[in-house]
Structure 1
Amino acid sequence: MFGINGGELLILLLVAALVVGPERLPAYAEQLAGWVRQLRDVARDTKDRVDAELGVDDVDWAALDPRRYDPRRIVRDALLDDPPPRTPSRPATPRPGRSRPTAGGAAATGAATSAFAGAAGPPDAGAPAPFDDEAT
């Protein structure tokens, strides 16, 4: 710190105590303690405000430590996780009066390559959208 070692700092503090004198030394020490307290409060308030503004209150910093990065564990955890169960939002029921040709039927007739080419007109407003399992 400023090129001053421990012995020189001790001598400077002793000289300052002698110059200030025993009458004013307690008042100066109390004033210095107040300044340190205010500086610490300002630093803490600033840190709290920055954390609140950035939204980092709920970040698990230990989990983001690069020393804990292990690609083998990440791959193992990803492979062992069970995928969430797929549940259809609404059971597929055929609409009355319309039939959906299958991909094999459309290809066999040579009409078109799309599985939905045989449907006449746009789908009804309340009908579920066509969904292809193999496309996604």
Structure 2
Amino acid sequence: MFGINGGELIVLLVVALVVLGPERLPQYAEQLAHLVKSVRRFAKGAQAQMREELGPEFDDIDWQKLDPRQYDPRRIVRDALSDVWDDEPAPAKKNSGARAASAAGAGAGSGGVNLRKEQAPAAVPFDEDAT
């Protein structure tokens, strides 16, 4: 229940008893019970309405897949980027010695920038529908 074990629940009840006092505690417990009942009633009504509107498709929905606690933003971004870059071939490994030699061989006339064909940035995908 909400990640609270038995010992913590007892401590919370003792703190509530001390803070609220024995004369107001039954009143607040009754209000809490009414709140829990109304939330359950609302959830059951929403579920019944969804079942009525969706019909037999309601039973086919995988509710576990729609649970927001399962989403990891890193995985979502990785999956989205892998979909975009799956069509492009993977870059070949370059020899680090050749890279250092080519960087050292760049003359002052080029401003120290050596853009060979394999070092050129990949084209950014363009989506006509997004603009």
TM-score by length of 2: 0.40
Question: Which is helix-richer, 1 or 2?
Answer: 2
Q: Which protein, 1 or 2, shows the higher relative CO under an 8 Å CA cutoff with sep ≥ 6? A: 1
TM-score by length of 1: 0.38
Whichever of the two has the greater Rg, that structure is 1
